[in-house]
Structure 1
Amino acid sequence: MTSAFLSALGGRIAERWLAALALPGLLFLTAATAATLLGHEHWSDLERLRDWVDTLSDSPAARSAGTVVLVALGVLAGAAATGAAAQALGTGVELLWCAEPHGPVLRYLADRRSRRWRVADAAFRTALVAAGRARIEGAAEADRLADVAERRYADRARIASAPPRHPFRMGDRLSGPAQRLWQAYRLDLTAAWPHLWLLAADGTRAELQAARLRLTASARLCAWGLGYLVLAVWWWPAALAGGVAVTSGVLRGRAAADAFAELTEALADLHVRDLAAALNVEYEGRDDRVLGERLTRLLRKESGDP
């Protein structure tokens, strides 16, 4: 039974390694080889590639089984190394998405988003006032002005749901639940999160973990896209693959960040009183903010009555 378990575990590890590192790495190495051999001038010359493959296959080394095995192992090792580099770069992309506005570049991006949000917010408020006035006066164009206000609201929401603080949308989206929970309950989500996690059902944890893994996978996809954009310096068709990968990674990352943030906030909303009960904090008849403050003091290990 132990050998069957180890065999199954090894199969799963090999499958994940193949999917996460080897296959994307082999594809990238293939594109890099094409970029090296073809370049911009012969970007679509398949005959050139075929001649190169024929030359390799006709060489004396190709008839040696040992050489073939060594080359295959070298290619797999190169693919794995390329995949590991993409994973590391993906971690950097993920950290960049959630970065605080430190440094001149990130501060500029955060200030730019903030300015855009204020302009969109002013346009929405102006349209909302115009629509409300038209509705009160019974004007014929009230419905049209209401539609305009909805579009202005959507324009503002595409930037951020609240005044942005981060250089990128995903940073604001992921930090949003902590801000809203503090405003609603005076609950410190950072201090409360490990306890809320332990109270969550297995299905809820699985959903959160899946959303978190999707965010990581999206950042890794962006990393692969950046690698292909670098190859485009030598072979322009790689720019198509790189552009698609980066765009898809950003869109998937936004969806994953939205899902993770919504699930995080929902978990806290549903279990804040369960947390109070588990920590023996009385909450009957208490205002949510009073309860949140007592929980925050307790979880931060601050002095005072819990």
Structure 2
Amino acid sequence: MRYAIWITLVSVMAAHAAPGGAQCTLTQPFLASAWPATDFTQCSVDLADVISGGPRRDGIPSIDHPMFASVASSQLGADEPVISLVIDQVARAYPLRILIWHEIVNDRVAGIPVAVTYCPLCNAALVFDRRVAGKTLEFGTTGLLRHSDMIMYDRGGDSWWQQYTGQAIAGAMTGQSLTLVANRLEPFADFAVRHPQGQVLIPNDPNARRYGANPYQGYDQSSRPFLYQGPLPAGVPPMQRVAVAGRTAVAWPDLQRAGVVERDGYRFEWQPGMRSALDTADLRAGRAVGSVQVTRARVLVPHHVTFAFVWHAFNAEEGSD
């Protein structure tokens, strides 16, 4: 796994506390020197929960000038997972074979600035509108983790943002939230059938990474999550997939058995076929885990698939579903 072995806890002291007791003043020298423009007197979480994942700031490079090819020219496998996004009839697919190495794509679709994000340790594929508080932000990777979820930062302001929640957790933008944009995590073949004229993200430099290789081999079949220090859900395998819409979660085995689950006004529909990007060394050979789409009143709504430990970590008050 490319998240390295170096795990450095962020030390904090009680000189300044945010509402709810979150400790905000850093004493860890490497973070203070690496993030001189971040206002750590403002935070919404305990920074003691933040650890280094290994890579330095932008060590996992975001894609800021994305390039695309046609569906017809794509060499992707039919069951390969892609994040598909449609805005005003502009359809784009972002293959996980690329996102697993870059984690963030700063793009503009039909004039809308978006951040297409994927955290491999959480298996969370989320798309955000990059406009917030009257600004259009561009995001990079910090190389830091909280609850095994990547922390992004906005360039120009250096506030930290939790990828899983879309919330600014430290810096001048603390308290601001990004707006989720509805998307699908689905097999490439499904996207191609619905959008034969669609566009597919391609690497700016095909030789920059081992695209198609999985640097997290066997991760989603491991007994416990990597670089996670919090409590695990009781009675549920921590690496079990769950489908999430809003504050509603449905366990993957329930979806596989039923095919359709209706809960809290949402309709969760599972389809077989899509391969896991976090299984075998060759991403195309990963085991079939299937995909889900979530609608409300027949309209696609923001949703994602993550692991049970992630849902538990960020929704501790509700427990596992």
Same-fold call, TM cutoff 0.5: no
Higher helix content, 1 or 2: 1
Q: Say which structure, 1 or 2, has more relative contact order (CA 8 Å, 6+ apart).
A: 1
TM (normalized to structure 1)?
Answer: 0.23
Higher strand content, 1 or 2: 2
Q: Which has the larger radius of gyration?
A: 1
